[in-house]
Amino acid sequence: MTSIFIIIAVFACVATLAGAIAMSFKSPEETAVEDRLKNITNEGFASSIFDNNTGGVISKPLDNLPGKLEEFVSKFLNLRTYIEQAGMTVSPQKIIFMSIGFGFSTGIIAAVLSPIKAVVPVVALVFGFMPVLYIIWKRKRRLQKFSAQLPETLELVSRALKAGHSLPAGIQLVAEQMADPIGPEFARCYEEQNLGIPLEEALEEMTNRVPNVDLRFFATAIILQRTTGGDLSEILEKIGRLIRERFQIFGQIAALTGEGRLSGIVLLALPPVLFLTMLKLNYDYIMMLFEDPLGQQMLMGAIVMQLIGAFVIKKIIDIKV
């Protein structure tokens, strides 16, 4: 009976993993082709002037509306926004079902194989959050790449204005010349204002899609210049230079806090590694932490102190600029 449970759990875990890998390797071009086919067969509609990961103004089908499960999850995490900011094309419902599948299958495996039953919910929660953590990781990397591209983008718009082009033409130039993620975002902004939305509102919407302080400076500078006047090319050039100087300061801070980050990693990883080592060497000695009431209190205290230590170390090495 135990072997049957193991086979079923392993099959569910492998199937979920295969589906996740297949969806992650699905290219945006394939999605665009599927949207056009849906247009032809009247199964939905999706069209965009620019082929990009973020989609256009009218690129979202009507059946891509939040379901009950997504509405419940959105009370704790706006998964749809995170997926959009990560530049992924997977739907929130698929991510939710993947998380449930991962957590359920790994929980069954842990319940069958692990002699410590208290570990089962922990393993299920950790693996259940893996898809969400992957989206958060991709979102963070995409936003970092966006920040790194922003100084060059501002200089490109500034040079376009000095050459006599209009501001929308400069935004279009960024959309054509810059790579993902900043190119598609500016393409969507240009598409919106080209369809009749005021440029100020299009820029405001872009700052809502991309939570970046420097991009907010860019949008604010344009809105103020269009209201009060001034040399916009010089303003954008100064903002770009300021962003580059901030990146230099971030590099210096990372070099100065490298020892603290390494010390934090070692101190936080040492107790779990020592726990696993002692579990292998002296199983009965470690099981007292789970079976004895005093041992359970000590274990909970150790976990709480680990979390407090991680928070304190992060506050020490996290220097605001």
Q: What pLDDT, in 10s, does the model give residues 250-271? A: 888 888 888 888 888 888 888 8
Highest mean pLDDT among 85-99, 177-191, 240-254: 177-191
Higher-pLDDT residue of 185, 289: 185
Q: What is the mean pLDDT of residues 213-220?
A: 87
What percent of the chain is modeled with pLDDT above 70? 75
Q: How confident is the model at residue 77 (pLDDT cuts 50, 70, 90)?
A: confident
CA distance readout (Å), 288 to 259, 279, 300: 36, 11, 13
According to the model, what pLDDT value does residue 227 have? 81
Neighbour-count burial for 74-113, b at 16+ CB within 10 Å, e otherwise: eeeeebbebbbbbbbbbbbbebbebbebbbbbbbbbbbbe
Cα within 13 Å of Cα(70), Cβ side: 15
User: Is a pLDDT exceeding 60 seen at residue 295?
Assistant: yes
According to the model, what pLDDT value does residue 256 have? 81
Q: What is the mean pLDDT of residues 183-203?
A: 89
According to the model, what pLDDT value does residue 69 have? 67
According to the model, what pLDDT value does residue 6 have? 54
**N-to-C CA span, the chain:** 59
Higher-pLDDT residue of 6, 215: 215
Q: Poorest-confidence range of 17-26, 96-105, 171-180?
A: 17-26
Prior bond to 181 cis, omega within 30?
Answer: yes
Alpha carbons 290 and 285: distance in angstroms, whole number: 10
In the block, which residue shows the tokens 């082009």? 165
Q: How confident is the model at residue 300 (pLDDT cuts 50, 70, 90)?
A: confident
User: Is a pLDDT exceeding 50 seen at residue 39?
Assistant: no
Alpha carbons 321 and 319: distance in angstroms, whole number: 7
**What is the rounded average pLDDT for all residues in the chain?**
77
According to the model, what pLDDT value does residue 50 have? 41
According to the model, what pLDDT value does residue 7 have? 54
Residue 198: is it exposed, middle or buried by C-beta count within 10 angstroms (0-12/13-18/19+)?
A: exposed
User: Is a pLDDT exceeding 80 seen at residue 107?
Assistant: yes
User: Is a pLDDT exceeding 80 seen at residue 52?
Assistant: no
Number of H helices, E strands in the chain: 15, 0
User: Is a pLDDT exceeding 80 seen at residue 24?
Assistant: no
Q: Where in the chain is the domain with CATH 1.20.81.30?
A: 144-255
What percent of the chain is modeled with pLDDT above 90? 4
* Token reading at 51: 């082929």
Q: Taking the CA atoms of the chain, what radius of gyration do you get in angstroms? A: 25
Superfamily of chain region 144-255: Type II secretion system (T2SS), domain F (1.20.81.30)
According to the model, what pLDDT value does residue 86 have? 85
